[in-house]
């Protein structure tokens, strides 16, 4: 059977592409191919009792499946052009914001109406940051929480379940161009054909995306990798900030190296979690809308961006190699008290237990200086002291640092302002394109391309 459209990947980009296509034309024949599980079967085996750390499942249900890597995230949709991707450089600033607001409306329609929207505009925090060489980026933030985010995804799947074809556990091995608007998509020995193919495999499909581009002779450019730690401290330390703006994206330029360090993915009263990306265990954070799921802590990432010049081109491999050091020393994720780090001593379980911050992730006490390069580690330490000026208690001895947190970015795929490759009818959207790296931008890119495709097919 030949489909009008095949979507590779059921993350936010793929889901919103599918939804918008069906809204524009219910007669379209659409197939979605997803390497992971349906949402209802996605389950991480870590229960904190019988299984306390990552066991490297063949397919990580945190990273793959319906909803993508964002399915079990804290569900923050940042409506802004200041971070989260460069979609506005392709579609225009106002169009990008309009698309993100449209996505927000859909999330509200499918179960997120009770979620609060925060804004950093005209906040007192912005002034406080500037007084201490910190810079708060402007954004509106809709926080769904892991629980509400899941409900929305459930409702979206129910809406689309019988409208289009879904095939899970279907890892695409090859995409072959027959001619413009004529493609073969291979899942092992099985071949599906389509007029239009939309690739939306997310950041977990970075290596796969490179192989597809090489095979189809699509140019790519080196991107960046962000390396850092996840900070966990008592919720009260950041309470004034999180109550006002919830998600604060703060950038600091270090005095020592003039590097930029940023806060990322703040989770008030949340938990720290493991992630498995290409077999490498890294750390992330989740939070909930339901107060019954609150912890006593707040966690957020501190990330240092690393951009490379010739001759080095594999920025993701650089990030993976650092994460592997942590895995080698700890079997997964390391945790260290800030006081131990600045005194040059390894954290032990007894020091962690004696501290005033109870970890929400079962990680191995250790020494992050054996894992993270000195430059990045010095940047992180300097940033913690800078944050301590606007949130006293951040640089406490008992503040926990989990390592490593790595944000992998796909190579920048060569696409035009329609997010179409040089092959007509082949689009690359979401985080696998290198254009976006957030839920809101990825979802918006899916809507944008779906409208273009629907209009072309109508003609």
- Please classify residue 378 by burial: count the beta carbons closer than 10 Å to its beta carbon, then call 0-12 exposed, 13-18 middle and 19+ buried: middle
Residue 261 to residue 215: CA distance in whole angstroms: 36
Residue 416: what are its φ and ψ, rounded to 5°? -90, -170
Q: What are the structural domains, with CATH classification, of the chain?
A: 2-117+142-221+413-458 (3.50.50.60), 224-408 (no CATH)
Residue 155 to residue 39: CA distance in whole angstroms: 11
Per-residue pLDDT tens listing for the chain (459 residues) = 799 999 999 999 999 999 999 999 999 999 999 999 999 999 888 766 778 777 778 778 888 899 988 887 778 899 999 999 999 999 999 999 999 999 999 999 999 999 989 888 777 899 999 999 999 998 899 989 888 999 999 999 999 999 999 999 999 999 999 999 999 999 999 999 999 999 999 877 777 898 999 999 999 987 678 999 999 999 999 999 999 888 899 999 999 999 999 999 999 999 999 888 778 899 999 888 788 889 999 999 999 988 877 777 778 788 889 999 999 999 889 999 999 999 999 999 999 999 999 999 999 999 999 999 999 999 999 999 999 999 999 999 999 999 999 887 778 899 999 999 999 999 999 999 989 989 999 999 999 999 999 999 887
Residue of 9, 409, 450, 410 lying closest to 200 (CA atoms): 9
Q: Is 68 left (phi over 0), alpha (psi -120 to 50) or beta?
A: left
- The span from the first CA to the last CA of the chain, in angstroms, equals 22
Residue 259: what are its φ and ψ, rounded to 5°? -90, 155
- Render 120-174 in DSSP notation, one character per residue: -TT-HHHHHHHTTTEEEPP-EEEE-HHHHHHHHHHHHHHHHTTTSEEE-S----E
- DSSP label at residue 99: H
The answer to whether 289 and 145 are in contact (CB under 8 A) is yes
Q: What is the pLDDT of residue 203?
A: 75
- Torsion, Cα 3 7 8 12, to 10 degrees, reads -160
Single pTM value for the model:
0.84
Residue 144 to residue 411: CA distance in whole angstroms: 29
Q: What is the pLDDT of residue 137?
A: 92
Strand (E) or helix (H) holding 375: helix 374-387
Q: What is the pLDDT of residue 60?
A: 81
């Amino acid at each position: 059977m030949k489909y009008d459209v095949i979507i590779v990947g059921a993350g936010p980009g793929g889901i919103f592409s599918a939804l918008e296509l069906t809204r524009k034309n219910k007669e379209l024949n659409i197939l979605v191919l997803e390497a992971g599980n349906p949402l209802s079967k996605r389950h991480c085996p870590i229960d904190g009792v019988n299984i306390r750390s990552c066991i490297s499942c063949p397919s990580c249900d945190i990273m793959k499946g319906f909803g993508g890597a964002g399915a079990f995230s804290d569900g923050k949709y940042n409506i802004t052009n200041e971070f989260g991707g460069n979609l506005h450089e392709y579609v225009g600033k106002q169009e990008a914001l309009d698309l993100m607001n449209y996505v927000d409306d859909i999330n509200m329609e499918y179960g997120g109406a009770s979620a609060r929207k925060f804004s950093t505009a005209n906040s007192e925090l912005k002034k406080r940051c500037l007084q201490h060489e910190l810079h708060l980026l402007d954004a509106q933030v809709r926080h769904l929480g892991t629980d509400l985010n899941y409900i929305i995804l459930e409702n979206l799947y129910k809406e689309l379940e019988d409208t289009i074809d879904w095939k899970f556990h279907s890892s695409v091995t090859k995409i072959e161009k027959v001619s413009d608007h004529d493609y073969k998509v291979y899942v092992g020995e099985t071949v599906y054909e389509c007029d239009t193919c939309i690739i939306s495999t997310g950041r977990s499909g970075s290596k796969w995306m490179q192989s597809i581009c090489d095979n189809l002779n699509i140019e790519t450019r080196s991107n960046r990798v962000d390396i850092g730690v996840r900070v966990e401290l008592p919720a009260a330390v950041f309470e004034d900030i999180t109550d006002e703006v919830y998600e604060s994206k703060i950038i600091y330029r270090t005095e020592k190296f003039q590097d930029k360090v940023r806060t990322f993915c703040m989770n008030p009263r949340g938990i720290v979690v493991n992630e498995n990306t290409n077999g490498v265990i890294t750390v992330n954070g989740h939070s909930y809308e339901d107060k019954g799921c609150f912890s006593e802590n707040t966690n957020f990432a501190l990330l240092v961006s690393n951009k490379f010049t010739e001759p080095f081109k594999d920025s993701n491999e650089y990030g993976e190699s650092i994460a592997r050091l942590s895995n080698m020393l700890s079997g997964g994720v390391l945790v260290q008290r800030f006081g131990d780090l600045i005194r040059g001593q390894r954290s032990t379980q007894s020091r962690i237990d004696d501290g005033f911050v109870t970890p929400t992730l079962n990680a191995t006490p250790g020494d992050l200086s054996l894992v993270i390069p000195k430059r990045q580690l010095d940047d992180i330490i300097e940033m913690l002291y800078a944050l301590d000026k606007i949130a006293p208690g951040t640089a406490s001895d008992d503040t926990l640092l989990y390592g490593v947190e790595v944000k992998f970015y796909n190579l920048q795929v060569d696409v035009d302002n329609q997010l179409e490759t040089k092959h007509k009818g082949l689009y690359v959207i979401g985080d696998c394109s290198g254009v976006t790296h957030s839920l809101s931008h990825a979802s918006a890119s899916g809507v944008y391309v779906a409208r273009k495709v629907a209009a072309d097919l109508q003609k």
